[in-house]
Chains A and B, each alone.
Chain A
Amino acid sequence: MTSAPVRDPLDDHLLTPENAAFLFIDYQPSQLATIRSMEPALLLKNAVSTVRTIKTFGIPVVHSTVNVANGQGPTLPELAVLLADDKPLDRTTVNSWEGHRIRLGRPRHRPPQARHLRLVDRSVHGLHRPGRAARRV
């Protein structure tokens, strides 16, 4: 069976490995311990499957943790082992976007109110690839 022609992966309106970035935020023991909307064990399994998928496609990852410097446990080991190449960025803010000032690449549709924003975090600037339309998944 031959493969269908590949659509332009940057211009595709669906998610592709080339037009997406993955934000991984606060998968830490204290967060897992407070989960009451589903079985924590299932959440962890789903997170592991998600990260394995993301890594299979080589999608860039922003790995964010909260308050590890002040005593919170780090990323759960089942997930940390999959993210060995993505050094955690620790922060104190609840909102990771506020804490790191993340710049993922060119948004597809830059709204007028964002025209003057330039969000650069040098620690993640390697994620920026010209032409990459970044999406959080």
Chain B
Amino acid sequence: MAFTALDALRDGYEVYPVVDAIAGTSPEAHRAGLDRVVQAGAQPISWVSLACELQRDWARLDTVQPIVQIVLTDRLLKE
């Protein structure tokens, strides 16, 4: 992830690493990779936060049912 993110940032893209859907060979390796891309300008995000940011408004009915299922029913309320 880190090399791709660094190249994408250099090419002018905004980068949002999904920090809890990415992992490393040690806690230190994971942290170092994220720190490196964040210092280069990446903006860390969690998968739940990503889902909420994309949904944005619970009155957007086209996607609200599957997103509630994915985030709440299948994960947060179950675990």
A positions within 8 Å CB-CB of B: 1-4, 6, 14-17, 20, 23, 25, 34-38, 40, 43, 45-47, 49-50, 52-53, 56-57, 59, 94-98, 102, 104, 107-111, 113-114, 117, 119, 133-137
Contact = CB atoms under 8 A, between A and B. Distances in A.
Interface string B1-45: 101110110111111111011111111011100000000000001
A43 B21 contact: yes
Contact of B4 (A3, A37, A59, A136): A136
27 contacts: A3-B59, A3-B60, A4-B57, A15-B45, A17-B54, A37-B23, A37-B26, A37-B31, A43-B20, A43-B21, A43-B23, A50-B18, A53-B51, A53-B70, A56-B66, A56-B67, A57-B54, A95-B4, A95-B7, A96-B4, A97-B7, A104-B13, A110-B12, A111-B12, A135-B16, A136-B4, A136-B13
Nearest to B12: A107
Given A49-B75, A111-B10, A97 B57 contact: no
Interface of A is mostly: loop
B52 to A, nearest CB: 10
Contacts of A56: 63, 66-67, 70
Contacts of A97: 3-4, 7-8
B21 A47 contact: yes
B67 A34 contact: no
Contacts of A94: 3
Most chain B beta carbons < 10 A, residue from A97, A98, A113: A97
A64 to B, nearest CB: 8
B26 A135 contact: no
Contact of B24 (A3, A25, A36, A110): A36
A6 B56 CA distance: 9
Nearest to A23: B4
